[in-house]
């Protein structure tokens, strides 16, 4: 079998906050068609790792390389978050960051921003092209809402949605930017078992139907073991293990790191 | 029921306390010439009654506010009747047509004085709508907004004085210069937030005023510029009354233009980006929106209107000096936006009329103007933080919509 195409390649990523080394030379890869997971105890540096990759922090050291299929390789270090998103890498947030005073549909429409073009003058004139583009934005966004099962809430304010629905809305909004790689930060946090099962299906569907590679942070071990092909484990900023779900389950280092931690596995 | 009794008791206590506090001032009066002490018991009754009623009203409103908040939090919020009416498109068009007709016959029905007052109210409508883009939509505080107004006014005054340029030539130029200054202000404060933003924009407003006051070679200093040409109409000579009516109609056209453009902007891709920026900056950039560009466009497009209407202001008064561009003006424009409703176009228009016309027509109370102003703001913040009229939502049409309404 030929070597799989790597979408994301992170080499020796290090992030310091003053004296605190939150991420310590972590290397990681996400390949095409893969669902990868990043796990570890609280405060291990997972979210910080995401923030470095998506341009919210500039890493102290290391290389973040994005290999899109058709375009040349890009180095993401120091790129602004919006540029990273434009390159095709979208994310969700651990502490939900929806636009609370906008409707569910409008939240998704924001995701379409970087794939549409109407400028100030054309928006004021509101010619045929602009109106068509607007309509296109609305339709695409609505289809995404259908995909994540939120179509019935389209006109609701996002702040009025239940917790699990808000997390799914974040996924829809990220998908609206047409990514080829999706980073999910604890998508199942705060969900009940049924919602988690639905999320499980949704992530698999996104991976299979939309051909989007996924890297997710998650504490729910059942979900992680179910859906991921490859797992990375972090502790105190360092990567302590990687491998298939079975390898991770049997890894003594991982068991030790999680000892005393509450896990569902 | 027990609640009401409790409120009642509390209010009585408060009124007693007030009576006690104001007793020496309101009730006892020592007549020094005749060495007599007057006891004005009636005053005491008034104080007691007044404070009781106010206190009870206050408590009642607060309780209602709390109840409403609870409903809103549970997501069962009912839209008020006014909002529902406003969302009805046919009603909106009819109301707009009626208002426009009323606005058009206004100067014919009333005298020049009334038209002049109306013109200044309309100027504030445009200023409010402009600032509404920066503050209301994009959520970027701007305490120096009057600076852009000054830029517009001075650009017309100076260009007219030195080069004899006419009103219609400078009108778009004033807007563009306003834009430019908006970008100049925007650049250094791209990274700032909250308090820092307030201080820097405040400083910017001050700087512009101080420059105008002190750079006499350029701006003629505190004495200002006089004999600025009124707007021309194909070289026809007009008397003061005629010219006032003419300016009034220009102003109406400008307001309509402003409403049209800001409405389209708000309901566009750009407007949504502004609102997203206001809601959550980090999520906004993570969704691929260029923060610098969005912020600069909000400042520039907000400033455009101030620059443009500044030109008209100079042409209307025919005399300007730096004293017209104090911080107080910025504060009033900001109050218009906050009072009217952040981001709500209709609210801002109403806010401008209330804040500019009420003091005009209630000259008798002009001494208490600032007092009433402050009290109104505090009350608004407590009871109606979303402003007089909250934002009317845009409706979108999509394929799934039909199915949805059939079910519901
Ligand atoms: N902006 C920051 N400034 C300083 N320290 C930070 C910052 N962000 C994160 N940290 C620290 O970095 C460490 C890693 O935090 P991070 O949020 O990445 O953990 P995490 O693995 O996502 O944990 P959790 O599972 O609880 O979400 C923590 O000790 C945290 O306090
Ligand atoms: Mg985290």
The domain tally of chain B equals 2
Average pLDDT over residues B298-325: 94
pLDDT of residue B283 exceeding 90: yes
Q: What is the mean pLDDT of chain B?
A: 85
Q: Report the pLDDT value the prediction gives residue B80, as an integer from 0 to 100.
A: 63
Separation of CA A21 and ligand 1 centre (Å): 10
pLDDT tens-digit series, residues B129-177: 999 999 999 999 999 999 999 999 999 999 999 998 888 999 999 999 9
pLDDT of residue A91 exceeding 70: yes
The pairing of beta strand B36-39 with beta strand B28-31: antiparallel
| B45 and B161 assigned to the same domain | no
pLDDT of residue B390 exceeding 90: no
pLDDT of residue A1 exceeding 50: no
| B204 and B320 assigned to the same domain | yes
Angle at A113 between CA A107 and CA A119, to 5 degrees: 130
Q: Is the CB of A48 under 6 A from ligand 1?
A: yes
| B56 and B166 assigned to the same domain | no
CB of A197 less than 8 A from some CB of B: no
- CATH for B100: 1.10.3470
Average pLDDT over residues A74-80: 91
pLDDT of residue B246 exceeding 70: yes
Range of the structural domain that residue B369 is part of: 83-383
Last-in-domain residue among B51, B74, B97: B74
Average pLDDT over residues A46-65: 94
CB contact under 8 A, A120 and B273: no
Alpha-carbon distance B212 to B201, whole Å?
A: 17
The answer to which of A246-255, B31-40, B104-113 has the lowest mean pLDDT is B31-40
Q: Are A36 and A231 in contact (CB under 8 A)?
A: yes
Angle at B290 between CA B286 and CA B295, to 5 degrees: 120
CB contact under 8 A, B287 and A177: yes
Give helix B291-317 / helix B146-163 axis angle, nearest 10°: 50
Q: Is the CB of A44 under 6 A from ligand 1?
A: yes
Average pLDDT over residues B212-233: 86
Within 10 A of B217 (CB to CB), how many other CB atoms are there?
6
Q: Is the CB of A51 under 6 A from ligand 1?
A: no
Residue nearest atom 18 of ligand 1, based on CA coordinates = A45
Q: Report the pLDDT value the prediction gives residue B292, as an integer from 0 to 100.
A: 92
- Domain-embedded: residue B22: yes
Which pTM value belongs to this model?
Answer: 0.87
Structure tokens at A214: 């996924």
| B65 and B93 assigned to the same domain | no
Structure tokens at A27: 């290397």
| B282 and B360 assigned to the same domain | yes
CB of A101 less than 8 A from some CB of B: yes
Q: Report the pLDDT value the prediction gives residue A214, as an integer from 0 to 100.
A: 95
Nearest CA in chain B to A136: B398
Q: Are A77 and A14 in contact (CB under 8 A)?
A: no
Helix (H) or strand (E) holding B38: strand B36-39
Contacts of A98 in chain B (CB under 8 A): 280, 283
pLDDT of residue A259 exceeding 70: no
pLDDT of residue B405 exceeding 50: no
Among the partner-chain residues A81, A116, A124, the one whose CB lies closest to the CB of B286 is: A81
Alpha-carbon distance B168 to B232, whole Å?
A: 8
| B305 and B247 assigned to the same domain | yes
| B357 and B267 assigned to the same domain | yes
pLDDT of residue A43 exceeding 50: yes
Separation of CA A18 and ligand 1 centre (Å): 13
pLDDT of residue B343 exceeding 80: yes
CB contact under 8 A, B272 and A113: yes
CB contact under 8 A, B276 and A116: no
Q: How confident is the model at residue A146 (pLDDT cuts 50, 70, 90)?
A: very high
Q: Report the pLDDT value the prediction gives residue B9, as an integer from 0 to 100.
A: 85
Q: Report the pLDDT value the prediction gives residue A25, as an integer from 0 to 100.
A: 93
Q: Report the pLDDT value the prediction gives residue B400, as an integer from 0 to 100.
A: 62
Q: How confident is the model at residue B402 (pLDDT cuts 50, 70, 90)?
A: low
Q: How confident is the model at residue B407 (pLDDT cuts 50, 70, 90)?
A: very low
Q: How confident is the model at residue A181 (pLDDT cuts 50, 70, 90)?
A: very high
Helix (H) or strand (E) holding B72: helix B41-73
Average pLDDT over residues A15-22: 93
Q: Report the pLDDT value the prediction gives residue A265, as an integer from 0 to 100.
A: 46
Higher pLDDT: A218 or B38? It is A218
Last-in-domain residue among B74, B95, B127: B74
pLDDT of residue A170 exceeding 90: yes
Q: Report the pLDDT value the prediction gives residue B406, as an integer from 0 to 100.
A: 45
Separation of CA A98 and ligand 1 centre (Å): 21
- Domain-embedded: residue B390: no
Nearest CA in chain A to B294: A120
Residue nearest atom 5 of ligand 1, based on CA coordinates = A17
Query: What was the ipTM of the complex prediction?
Result: 0.92
Average pLDDT over residues B229-244: 78
Higher pLDDT: B362 or B302? It is B302
A contact test, residue of B75, B78, B387, B396 with most A CBs within 10 A: B396
Give helix B167-186 / helix B146-163 axis angle, nearest 10°: 140
CB of A32 less than 8 A from some CB of B: no
| B45 and B132 assigned to the same domain | no
Residue nearest atom 22 of ligand 1, based on CA coordinates = A47
pLDDT of residue A26 exceeding 80: yes
pLDDT of residue A67 exceeding 60: yes
pLDDT tens-digit series, residues B11-57: 888 888 888 888 888 888 888 888 888 888 888 888 888 888 888 88
Helix (H) or strand (E) holding B97: helix B89-109
| B249 and B354 assigned to the same domain | yes
Average pLDDT over residues B210-239: 83
pLDDT tens-digit series, residues B57-83: 888 888 887 877 777 666 555 556 666
Q: Report the pLDDT value the prediction gives residue B219, as an integer from 0 to 100.
A: 85
Tokens 């909004």 map to which residue?
A173
3-state SS string over B107-158? HHHCCHHHHHHHHHHHHHHHHHHHHHHHHHHCCCCCCCCHHHHHHHHHHHHH
| B192 and B321 assigned to the same domain | yes
Tell me which of A46, A51, A263 to substitute to probe ligand 1's pocket, judged by most ligand atoms within 8 Å of the beta carbon. Answer: A46
The alpha-carbon gap from B115 to the nearest alpha carbon of chain A, in Å, equals 30
Structure tokens at B128: 């409010």
Residue nearest atom 3 of ligand 1, based on CA coordinates = A17
CB contact under 8 A, A106 and B272: yes
Alpha-carbon distance B21 to B81, whole Å?
A: 43
Q: Is the CB of A87 under 6 A from ligand 1?
A: no
CATH architecture of the domain with residue range A1-88+179-265? 3-Layer(aba) Sandwich (3.40)
The answer to which of A97-106, A148-157, B101-110 has the lowest mean pLDDT is B101-110
The answer to which of A210-214, B75-79, B105-109, B142-146 has the lowest mean pLDDT is B75-79
Instruction: State what percent of residues in chain B have pLDDT above 70.
Output: 92
Instruction: Give the residue extent of every domain in chain A.
Output: 1-88+179-265, 98-178
Q: Are B96 and B224 in contact (CB under 8 A)?
A: no
Q: Report the pLDDT value the prediction gives residue B227, as an integer from 0 to 100.
A: 85
| B208 and B65 assigned to the same domain | no
| B225 and B340 assigned to the same domain | yes
Higher pLDDT: A33 or B193? It is A33
Higher pLDDT: A261 or A190? It is A190
């Amino acid at each position: 079998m030929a070597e799989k195409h790597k979408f994301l390649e992170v080499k020796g990523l290090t992030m310091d906050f003053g004296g605190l080394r939150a991420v310590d030379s972590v290397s990681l890869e996400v390949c095409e068609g893969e669902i990868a997971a990043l796990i570890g105890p609280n405060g291990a540096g997972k979210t910080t790792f995401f923030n470095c990759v998506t341009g919210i922090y500039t890493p102290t050291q290391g290389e973040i390389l994005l290999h899109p299929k058709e375009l040349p390789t890009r180095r993401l270090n120091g790129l602004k978050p919006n540029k990273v998103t434009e390159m095709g890498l979208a994310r969700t947030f651990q502490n939900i960051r929806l636009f609370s005073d906008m409707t569910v549909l409008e939240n998704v429409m924001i995701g379409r921003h970087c794939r549409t073009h109407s400028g100030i003058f054309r928006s004021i004139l509101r010619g045929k092209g602009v109106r068509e583009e607007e309509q296109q934005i609305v339709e695409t966004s609505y289809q995404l809402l259908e995909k994540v099962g939120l179509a019935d809430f389209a006109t609701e304010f996002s702040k009025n949605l239940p917790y699990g629905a808000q997390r799914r809305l974040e996924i829809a909004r990220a998908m609206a930017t047409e990514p080829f790689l999706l980073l999910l930060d604890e998508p199942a946090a705060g969900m009940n078992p049924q919602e988690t099962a639905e999320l499980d299906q949704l992530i698999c569907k996104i991976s299979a139907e939309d051909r989007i590679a996924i890297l997710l942070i998650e504490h729910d071990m059942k979900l992680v073991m179910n859906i991921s092909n490859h797992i990375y484990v972090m502790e105190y900023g360092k990567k302590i293990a990687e491998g298939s779900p079975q390898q991770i389950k049997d890894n003594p280092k991982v068991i030790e790191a999680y000892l005393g931690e509450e896990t569902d596995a | 029921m027990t609640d009401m009794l409790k409120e009642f008791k509390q209010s009585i206590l408060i009124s007693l306390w007030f009576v006690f506090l104001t007793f020496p001032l309101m009730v006892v009066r020592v007549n020094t010439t005749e060495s007599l002490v007057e006891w004005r018991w009636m005053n005491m009754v008034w104080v007691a009654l007044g404070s009781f009623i106010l206190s009870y009203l206050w408590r009642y409103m607060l309780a209602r506010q709390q109840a409403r908040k609870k409903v809103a939090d549970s997501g069962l919020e009912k839209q008020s009747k006014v909002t529902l009416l406003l969302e009805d498109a046919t009603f909106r068009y009819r109301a707009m047509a009626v208002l426009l007709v009323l606005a058009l016959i206004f100067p014919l029905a009333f005298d020049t004085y009334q038209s002049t007052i109306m013109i200044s109210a309309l100027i504030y409508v445009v200023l409010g709508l402009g600032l509404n883009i920066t503050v209301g939509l994009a959520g970027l505080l701007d305490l120096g907004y009057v600076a852009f107004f000054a830029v517009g006014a001075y650009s017309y005054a100076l260009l007219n004085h030195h080069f004899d340029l006419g009103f219609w030539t400078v009108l778009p130029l004033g807007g563009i210069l306003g834009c430019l200054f908006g970008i100049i202000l925007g650049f250094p404060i791209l990274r700032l937030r909250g308090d820092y933003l307030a201080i820097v924009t405040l400083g910017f407003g001050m700087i512009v005023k101080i420059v105008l006051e002190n750079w006499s070679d350029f701006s003629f200093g505190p004495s200002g510029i006089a004999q600025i040409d009124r707007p021309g109409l194909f070289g026809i000579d007009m008397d003061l009354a005629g010219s006032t009516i003419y300016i009034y109609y220009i102003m109406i056209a400008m307001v309509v233009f402003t409403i049209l453009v800001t409405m389209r902007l708000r309901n566009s891709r750009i407007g949504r980006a502004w609102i997203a920026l206001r809601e959550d900056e980090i999520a906004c950039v993570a969704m691929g929106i260029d923060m610098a560009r969005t912020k600069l466009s909000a400042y520039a497009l907000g400033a455009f209107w101030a620059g443009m209407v500044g030109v008209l202001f100079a042409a209307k008064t025919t005399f300007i000096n730096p004293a017209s561009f104090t911080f107080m003006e910025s504060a009033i424009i900001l109050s218009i936006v906050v009072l009217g409703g952040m981001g709500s176009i209709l609210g801002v228009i109403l806010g401008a009329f209330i804040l500019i016309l009420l003091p005009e027509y209630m000259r008798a109370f002009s001494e208490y103007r600032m007092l009433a102003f402050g009290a109104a703001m505090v009350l608004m913040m407590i009871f109606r933080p979303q402003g007089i009229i909250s934002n009317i939502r845009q409706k979108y049409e999509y394929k799934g919509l039909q199915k949805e309404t059939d079910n519901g």
